[in-house]
Amino acid sequence: MADYRLCAFADEASPMIDGQIEALKRNGVGLLEIRGVDGVNIADITLEKAKSVREKLAANGISVWSLGSPYGKINIKDDFGAHLDKFRHGLELCSALGCGRIRLFSFYVDGNVGDAVFDEVCGRLARFSEEAKAAGVVLCHENEKGIFGEKAAECVKIHRALPDIKAVFDPANFVQAGEDTVAAMEMLAPYVDYMHIKDALKGSGEIVPAGRGDGNIERLLGVFKKGVLTVEPHLRVFAGLKALEQAGEKSSIGNAYKTSDEAFDAAVSAIKNVITKQTKEGF
Q: What band does 252 get if pLDDT is binned at 50, 70 and 90?
A: low
Query: Any alpha helices (H) in the chain, and if so which ranges?
Result: 17-26, 47-59, 81-97, 115-135, 152-161, 171-176, 181-188, 217-223, 260-281
Q: Which residues contact 227 (CB under 8 A, 6 or more apart)?
A: 3, 4, 5, 192, 193, 194, 195
Q: How many CB atoms are closer than 10 A to CB 91?
A: 17
Q: Is the predicted pLDDT of residue 168 greater than 80, yes or no?
A: yes
Which DSSP category does 244 fall into?
A: G
Provide the 3-class DSSP secondary structure of residue 40: strand
Task: Give the start-to-end residue ranges of the domains of the chain.
Answer: 3-281
Least confident of 127-131, 216-220, 230-234, 247-251: 247-251
Q: Which residue has the higher pLDDT, 238 or 20?
A: 20
pLDDT digits (tens, 9 = 90+) for 171-183: 999 999 999 999 9
Q: What band does 237 get if pLDDT is binned at 50, 70 and 90?
A: confident
Question: What integer best gives the mean pLDDT of the chain?
Answer: 94
CB burial class (10 A; 0-12, 13-18, 19+) of residue 100? middle
What is the rounded CA–CA span in Å between residue 74 and residue 271?
A: 31
3-state helix, strand, coil in the chain (%, to 5): 45, 20, 35
Q: What is the pLDDT of residue 247?
A: 58
Ramachandran assignment for 234, one of left (phi > 0), alpha (psi -120 to 50 degrees), beta (any other): left
Q: Is the predicted pLDDT of residue 156 greater than 80, yes or no?
A: yes
What is the rounded CA–CA span in Å between residue 74 and residue 83?
A: 8
CA 104 to chain centre: 8
Q: Is 143:169 a contact under the CB 8 Å cutoff?
A: yes
Q: What is the pLDDT of residue 245?
A: 59
pLDDT digits (tens, 9 = 90+) for 2-24: 799 999 999 999 999 999 999 99
Q: What is the pLDDT of residue 48?
A: 98
Specify the CATH number for 3-281; select among 1.10.10.10, 3.20.20.150, 3.30.70.1340, 3.90.960.10: 3.20.20.150
Q: Is the predicted pLDDT of residue 38 greater than 90, yes or no?
A: yes
pLDDT digits (tens, 9 = 90+) for 61-104: 999 999 999 999 999 999 999 999 999 999 999 999 999 999 99
Q: Which residues contact 26 (CB under 8 A, 6 or more apart)?
A: 265
What is the rounded CA–CA span in Å between residue 105 and residue 140?
A: 8
- Characterize the bridge pairing of strands 31-34 and 226-231: unpaired
Bridge partners, residue 168, by sequence: 142, 194
Q: What is the pLDDT of residue 278?
A: 76
